[in-house]
Chains A and B, each alone.
Chain A
Amino acid sequence: MPVLKNIAAIAKGMSITFMEMFQPTTVENYPDGKGPLRGARFEARFRGAHVLQRDENGLEKCVACFLCAANCPSNCIYIEAADNTAEHRVSGAERYAKVYNIDYNRCIFCGYCVEACPTDAITHGHGFELATFNASNLVYRKEQMLASRPAHMGANVVFNQADVDGGAPKEMVAGS
């Protein structure tokens, strides 16, 4: 009885359809959800916009070794290095990144830069709302990617000799 068999198959299939119809929806409610992420949820390993980390002293971890740029398959990282001085110390080592740009027009979020980083300075954050109407906005500067300073040190201050010598922390000028 092929006809009956076919009807049974259809009924079985439709039963699943009808059953699912009354289940609660499992689709992410982005962007209409609650909270700062507006309903988006991530796995911890999600590779979003980069964050440039600071060390426990609030100094930038990046020492401008260029390994991320060398490793980048889409060649989207641009760095200019400069020397730390006793008066103006930005990173923990002899050198820091004066300019650190990532061009998100080209970035493919492969994470090779994170792999390459010898000082764990560059990491993937969870930033994902990068869309813009103007491509030039997609070139992120260091100041846009830098992690904020630890709370006890006050936000956005440059750690320099004046701080150590007892002077008041200066507001960061560039890019703030």
Chain B
Amino acid sequence: MADVTLTVDGKKVTAPAGTLLIEACKTVGIEVPSFCYYPNLSLQGACRMCLVKIEKMPKLQTACTTVISEGMIVTSDSEEIKQARKSMLEMLLGNHPLDCPVCDAGGECELQDMTFSYGAAESKFMEAKNHKDEQQWSPVVFFDRPRCILCYRCVRVCGEGMDVWALGVQNRGVSSIIAPNKEDHLECEECGMCIDICPVGALTSGAYRYKTRPWEMKHVGTICTHCGDGCKTTLGVRRADTGMEIVRGDNRDKSGTNGDFLCIKGRYAFDFANHEERLTQPLIRKEGKLTPATWEEAFQLIGKKFAEVRDRDGGSAIGVIGSTRTTNEESYLLSKFARMVLKTNNVDHHRTADFPAFAAALRGKADATASMADVFTAPAILLIGNDPTEQHPLLAWQIRNNVRLHRSRLYVINSQAIKLRRQATNFMQIPAGAEGKVAAFLAGDDAAADAIINSSSTKDQWNSLRDTLRGEQNLVIAFGSEILGSDLSSLVTFGSAIAGAKFVCLADYANSRGAADMGLYPDLLPGYHPISGSSEFHTEWGEIPQAAGLDLSGMVEAASTNKLKALYVVGSNPIGRLKIDSFAFSNSFVVVQDMFLTETAVVADVALPAANAYEKSGTFTNTCGDLQLVKKAGEVTGTKADFEMIVRIADAMGFDVRKLVPIGGGTHADMGQSRGAQSGEADRHAVWLEAHGLEPKLSPFDPMAILDEIQRLVPGYDVSRMNLLAGNSQHTSLAKAGPGVAHRPESISPANDTLFSSGTLGHYSRALKSVMESHEVKPAEVAAD
């Protein structure tokens, strides 16, 4: 749009036509205060804080509802305006309880800030304040009515942003009150967005209530460890007897792709970390019982056993199961450790999407994958299968708000009437299991149409949909794990004919994509390079076994015939999650690294207490392929990161860990000078060195050393390190990935998690279990106003 120039407080401001005055002021550093205005939500004009003087207008005007026009002359700072703001705050504070010392928002409250900047020092009112008792709307949402300033942000974010419409306004005038959808409580998606967006302490979190004060915590912006979307959550951590306790999750750091968004899992389900059943010391099976032991004892035993099996029965007698929730560095290290140290290709993980087929289909196609940010800006989106509202809440948010704010066209093809159909331009319901046929039909196989037509659609409708889709540009095609193998390649064939089309392959766990990219497969090395072939890994890693190993079901079978002598499970629970017989590995030496005594850990010979993703550093790749930095927030004494444990086991096996973790390299920077400078300066210096790969890696437990190798060797991971360290998401490309291999469709088993479950982590999260929606029938959808 054309630019418009106006004058604010004597400063020339140029902004695109259609910009709101309040936003235009921001661009030149003029702050116009407001409560009810919130970017990307509908306009209210209710709080009257943003009143400014516009020449030729008789009254003060609200900057949040005024669209800029050419030659407008605006004053944002005059006596009249100061008085208006002051009196507005006086009136607000008249009924505000002023219980800041006990209010959870105290210290990060917009009303406090505004009163400090613009308010009056004393009250003119003598009458009693209107009071109502605090209400609990759900285990995680509390509402303290007197603190509410009625900015309606919560109502709008719940309705417009989340499409839940669980909040509304009751009564009128001074009795106006924000009310939940079920008289005295909420039945909703429990995302807690209303709490985050509340400018005061009216809506507070049940998980964090009265626990501490904002300035008492350290705030760490890291990546959520639940679903595969990679939202950034800010964890508030506090010193505790057992290390650093995570007491709050919220959206304070809005730098992630998710912006304002977080679902219940990202906001509240960090509590598994503090669960009392956490393992905090290594356990070794002695006389049939798991007994506490020292780390040294455990590593020595594992090292001895693994080396023994490898040397006696060969590496193929050892199985390795990786995790979808460990960092890329750990998955890569595990893959490397298995091949180089254990000499086995029996490597697998809980697969929830067919990434090898995806990589193979996109091979050589540049810019063919969509980042999570692309989903928010694409002019059109095709969604086949999956229910993003439940399984990929951020993806659903991006789609919903793209439709709402950018009028994007959404095409939904699903066997269920999923909630996103409400935003869809075109929703087509298909028989269950027919998603693959849809791909075939779209790719041009008209015979497949019969399998996808049901009572609600006709062949003509399908033909016209296909034509419409072919006519789109920059279409984002997102599909669930229903589409695999050859169907997936048909879909890519169809999409590739559309100009600018990009794909998203949906997988379920926080680092499912990373586990696949890092080669936790029996027949693939990192970057989807087949094991029987040649790649940089074959040269860099030296002698590795060339024959494809066993996948998970192969390992189970081998164990039953006593061919699998040892099994190394890192952060995975195949017995609990994949319904494998508990006695399957009875004759093998089983080592499990996990947080809890899971169904798999209880049958282990050695169980090692692992740190979770909130307690270590590294990187995650989300389902779209966006690489993001994971930062250490919490700490539970007695646990170790999987990275350290893998290295220690390699060391115990007598392996030279320098070959596993490339340390000691880098230039010889003047460490003394860098460390001796002012602390802030030293940090920046270290960041710069790190970003350019110049920081010497001195510890074998430094994940950054492996990140160097990943960025050097894994195709598509050569992203800007500086941006990555700055906390931005960096999209990786599959264009240069290896050719992949075909897998059996049965090897993929979706997690089928909902908004209120999260595999093993969900099992140990009280917050997730506490909300009624997690165990009762879900409420009916509410019409969008």
A contact residues vs B (CB 8 Å cutoff): 63-67, 69-70, 81-83, 93-95, 118-119
Contacts and interface: CB of A to CB of B under 8 A. Distances in A.
B99 interface: yes
A66 B215 CA distance: 9
A66 B212 contact: yes
The 9 A-B pairs of least Cβ separation, nearest first, read A65-B101, A66-B213, A93-B102, A118-B101, A95-B210, A63-B102, A95-B102, A94-B102, A63-B101
A23 B102 CA distance: 58
A65 B210 contact: no
Nearest to B211: A81
Nearest to B216: A66
Contacts of B209: 83
Contacts of A67: 101
Interface of B: 99-102, 106, 209-213, 215-216
Contacts of A119: 101
Nearest to A69: B216
A70 B107 CA distance: 11
24 contacts: A63-B101, A64-B102, A64-B210, A65-B100, A65-B101, A65-B102, A65-B106, A66-B212, A66-B213, A66-B215, A66-B216, A67-B101, A81-B210, A81-B211, A81-B212, A82-B210, A83-B209, A83-B210, A93-B99, A93-B102, A94-B99, A94-B210, A95-B102, A118-B100
Contacts of A118: 100-101
A99 to B, nearest CB: 12
Contacts of B212: 66, 81
Given A64-B210, A119-B101, 16 more contacts: A63-B101, A64-B102, A65-B106, A66-B212, A66-B213, A66-B215, A66-B216, A70-B216, A83-B210, A93-B101, A94-B99, A94-B102, A94-B210, A95-B102, A118-B100, A118-B101
Contacts of B99: 93-94
Given A81-B210, A94-B210, A95-B210, A70 B101 contact: no
A83 to B, nearest CB: 5
B80 to A, nearest CB: 33
A63 B211 CA distance: 12
A73 B106 CA distance: 21
Nearest to B209: A83
A161 to B, nearest CB: 17
Nearest to B134: A94
A70 B99 CA distance: 18
Nearest to B210: A95
Contacts of B106: 65
A94 B101 CA distance: 10
Nearest to A93: B102
Nearest to A94: B102
Contacts of B102: 63-65, 93-95
A88 to B, nearest CB: 14
Contacts of A70: 213, 215-216
A40 to B, nearest CB: 35
B346 to A, nearest CB: 50
A13 B183 CA distance: 91
B164 to A, nearest CB: 29
Contacts of B213: 65-66, 70
A67 B213 CA distance: 9
Nearest to B238: A80
B258 to A, nearest CB: 30
User: Looking at B101, B106, B209, B213, which has the most chain A CB atoms within 10 Å of its CB?
Assistant: B101
A63 B209 CA distance: 14
A64 B101 CA distance: 8
A20 B209 CA distance: 67
Nearest to B144: A94
A81 B100 CA distance: 15
Contacts of B101: 63, 65, 67, 93, 118-119
A64 B210 CA distance: 9
Contacts of B100: 65, 118
Contacts of A94: 99, 102, 210
A62 to B, nearest CB: 9
A86 to B, nearest CB: 12
A113 to B, nearest CB: 13
A83 B136 CA distance: 15
B139 to A, nearest CB: 15
A10 B216 CA distance: 65
Contacts of A64: 102, 210
Contacts of A95: 102, 210
A159 B194 CA distance: 36
A69 B212 CA distance: 12
Contacts of B215: 66, 70
A25 to B, nearest CB: 49
Nearest to B215: A70
A95 B212 CA distance: 10
Nearest to B239: A78
Nearest to B212: A81
A48 B101 CA distance: 25
Contacts of A63: 101-102
A162 to B, nearest CB: 22
A74 B495 CA distance: 64
User: Looking at B106, B209, B210, B216, which has the most chain A CB atoms within 10 Å of its CB?
Assistant: B210
A82 B212 CA distance: 9
Contacts of A83: 209-210
A95 B201 CA distance: 15
A160 B495 CA distance: 69
Contacts of A82: 210
Nearest to A83: B210
A95 B211 CA distance: 9
A95 B101 CA distance: 9
User: Looking at B99, B100, B213, B216, which has the most chain A CB atoms within 10 Å of its CB?
Assistant: B213
A118 B101 CA distance: 7
Contacts of A66: 212-213, 215-216
A74 B209 CA distance: 28
A83 B211 CA distance: 8
B106 to A, nearest CB: 7
A69 B106 CA distance: 15
A45 B125 CA distance: 34
A82 to B, nearest CB: 8
Nearest to A121: B101
A87 B213 CA distance: 25
Nearest to B106: A65
B761 to A, nearest CB: 27
A34 to B, nearest CB: 42
Nearest to B98: A118
A81 B210 CA distance: 7
A94 B213 CA distance: 14
A82 B209 CA distance: 10
